[in-house]
Amino acid sequence: MSESSLCTPHEHRFSRRRLLGSAAAGAAGTAALGGLLGPAVAEEVAKNDKQVLFVWLDGGMSQLESWDPKPNTQFGGPFRSIETSVPGIQFSELMPKSAKVAHHLAVLRSVHTQDNSHSAGVARINRGDPKNRGVVYPYFGSAVAKLMGPTSSGLPPYVWIKPYSGGFKTTDAGFLGPKYGALAFGDGQPPENMLRHTDVTAERDKVRNELREKLNQKYRASRRPETADASFYVFDVAQKLMDRTHLFDESKLDPRDVERYGSHNLGRHMLLGRRMLEEGARFVKVNSYHWDSHGDNFNASYSLVRKFDQPFAALIEDLDDRGMLDNVLVIAMSEFGRTPKINSHVGRDHWPEAWSVGMAGAGLKRGLTVGKTNDKGTFVADEEYDIGHLFHTWFKALDVPEEMMEYDNGGQPLPVAHDDCFPIESLLA
């Protein structure tokens, strides 16, 4: 393990004394948490302004062409390794910008998980690979939305910026109920028909919403509360977003930001992700697809890894410059890594045996790697960790108290993370 003390914490841009919102929003948020916790704990959680930026590289990023290169070895491939801003730590030459901000990063190089298929791996990794208890566990974003609630901004606690379609995605929430699903912005665009019609005045809209709330109470009386709450929540979220249409107006972006993040989809979406954090979203997931390089891995990596490197490094720089990095937990990962062995199609296949996760920010040490693979990159050589260990680590980094590490699922106590795992203390500040 390598460590550096090159950087010092910056003062927070956002105050930790904010509660969940304005007087009404804060009371409602704390009351909702109080159903899961005791009132004192719920109020303490409401003061936690930590946020998450979760970059999901769907399909499987190659650790050998990114965080854990093995040049000049049997399986190392054609790319060199380069020095980073931390002496003794090297990344692939495809990540020159991330190498320059390595003093802000914490990279785990010894992840060992179970599933080598997308269908099983995506869900198990996003849920922390919990034990089978007969229920569908929530994805990490939904868990954070439930445990920590919205920030004082009133924005939805879990937003998802992704290519293709958007909408309210409830499947991530699992047994928590549809309210804790993700509001997805397809191609980084707002939901359709979000703006109030020009014929409807603000006063008329207020009256309509008051009427809607009265009808909601009648609707709720004869239906499952989880379904009714999710339905009403969508309207409340839309109302908040109507006041923030500027977030989606790319014509107002600083041209220097567009150049730094890149005009490609991942760059655009990462920049929107940063702006969502600045507006106060609790958990922002940014998706990138097509990382499944079974064929022509090296040309694919040359394109994909460089497109990731550019906005990822820009995001880390911006969060640090704005004094936000101490408060925002940044995670970049896939459902597994890629095989060291190169197949007959000059590709790398699925490899859950030994891969890497890049992280930075809230609650983590900076300028270090934890764990290592062997000289060929085939297996973990030291400090092997599963995804359950990462979930425990992330919850602890976000200051989720011990009292909250158990859900109440209608009287059924369920641990929020795999109870045979534990936080990786060498990553935690």
Is 90 exceeded by the pLDDT of residue 207?
no
pLDDT of residue 200: 79
pLDDT of residue 198: 76
- Separation between Cα atoms, residue 315 and residue 325, nearest integer Å: 10
Beta bridge partners of 82: 91
Number of domains in the chain: 1
Span 73-108, pLDDT tens digits: 999 999 999 999 999 999 999 999 999 999 999 999
Give the DSSP letter of residue 385.
B
Can you say how many angstroms the Cα of residue 404 is from the centroid of all Cα atoms in its chain? 20
pLDDT of residue 46: 47
Read off the pLDDT of each residue in 150-154 and give the average, rounded to a whole number.
Answer: 89
Under the banding of pLDDT at 50, 70 and 90, the label for residue 230 is low
Read off the pLDDT of each residue in 331-337 and give the average, rounded to a whole number.
Answer: 98
Domain-embedded: residue 32: yes
Domain-embedded: residue 405: yes
Domain-embedded: residue 3: no
Domain-embedded: residue 218: no
- Separation between Cα atoms, residue 112 and residue 122, nearest integer Å: 14
Count of C-beta atoms within a 10 Å radius of residue 312: 26
- Separation between Cα atoms, residue 226 and residue 241, nearest integer Å: 22
pLDDT of residue 286: 98
Span 376-401, pLDDT tens digits: 999 999 999 999 999 999 999 999 99
Under the banding of pLDDT at 50, 70 and 90, the label for residue 47 is low
Residue 287 maps to which CATH number?
3.40.720
User: Are 379 and 353 contacting, i.e. CB atoms less than 8 angstroms apart?
Assistant: yes
Is 90 exceeded by the pLDDT of residue 36?
no
pLDDT of residue 195: 64
pTM (two decimals): 0.85
Of these ranges, 29-38, 177-186, 208-217, 340-349, the one predicted with the greatest mean pLDDT is 340-349
Span 260-288, pLDDT tens digits: 999 999 999 999 999 999 999 999 999 99
User: Are 20 and 30 contacting, i.e. CB atoms less than 8 angstroms apart?
Assistant: yes
Domain of residue 173: give its range: 23-192+244-427
> With pLDDT > 90 as the criterion, what percentage of the chain qualifies?
70
Is 80 exceeded by the pLDDT of residue 241?
no
pLDDT of residue 50: 97
Domain-embedded: residue 186: yes
**What type of residue sits at position 51?**
Q
pLDDT of residue 414: 95
Domain-embedded: residue 108: yes
Average pLDDT, the chain: 87
3-class secondary-structure state, position 402: helix
Domain-embedded: residue 18: no
Domain-embedded: residue 208: no
